[in-house]
Amino acid sequence: MSASVALSIEDAREQLLHISKRLVDVRLNRGTSGNASVRVDGADGEAGILITPSGMSVEQMSPADMVWMDFSARFSGERQPSSEWRFHLDIMKQRTDVRAVIHTHSLFATTLSTLHKEIPAFHYMVAVAGGDNIRCAPYAIFGSQALSEEVLQALEGRKACLMANHGMVVVGSSLDNAFDIAVEVETLAEQYLHAMQVGCPHILSSQEMLEVQEKFKGYSGWSK
């Protein structure tokens, strides 16, 4: 779904649950870790987001458990929003191109984040994140405004970042788009960790990465 198409709350609830299940199925999240959100319009036309609830495993969730929040951080429903609602909301407020946010504690991205290392252009697919690296945001405690500010900075001009000692955040033009980027970032993190065990990977130049980004414009999956 393109960034210009708004979801109804009913459709967004279903899609958010579906993506949350897919994240568990591909082992990007486990148990109650991670969260996701999608941009929607409220029943009265007011803009806001739907976000996954706090402290619930995906197996327990239903569409009705997704929490609606407006851009003043007021929320409604029987559940509490994810503890990471601040960076979800702040990203949506600052980045009008973003319609979905996914955060995971996936194995390889999280492992790399504990080393406080970015993912450089060791592979051309790093360009799916919008540049020639995937930055690692400095550590701040989960759920804090400080973490949100670090994430916003790390995502400047990007569609993904790592969070030190924590995991990854990706943004997309739809939940499906964000999911695809999250899968690719996890793959890149795994490949980079393996490469560093052998030696020092060759890093592609900025010009080479610009050429990749130009070529991606012809591929609908990565040009959004």
Among 205, 158, 223, smallest CA distance to 185 is for 158
Assigned domain for 15 exists: yes
pLDDT above 50 (res 43): yes
How many domains does the chain contain in total?
1
- Confidence (pLDDT) at 44: 56
Range of the domain at 73: 9-216
pLDDT above 70 (res 35): yes
Of residues 10, 59, 78, 84, which has the active-site annotation?
84
Assigned domain for 33 exists: yes
- Confidence (pLDDT) at 45: 59
pLDDT above 90 (res 9): no
Cα 50 vs. chain centroid, distance in angstroms? 14
How sure is the predictor about 42, in pLDDT bands with cuts at 50, 70 and 90? low
Give the largest CA-CA distance in the chain: 57
Assigned domain for 93 exists: yes
CATH of the domain at 185: 3.40.225.10
In the annotation, is 10 catalytic?
A: no
Record the pTM. Answer: 0.93
Assigned domain for 222 exists: no
Assigned domain for 224 exists: no
pLDDT above 60 (res 220): no
Which tens digit of pLDDT belongs to each residue from 110-157?
999 999 999 999 999 999 999 999 999 999 999 999 999 999 999 999
pLDDT above 60 (res 5): no
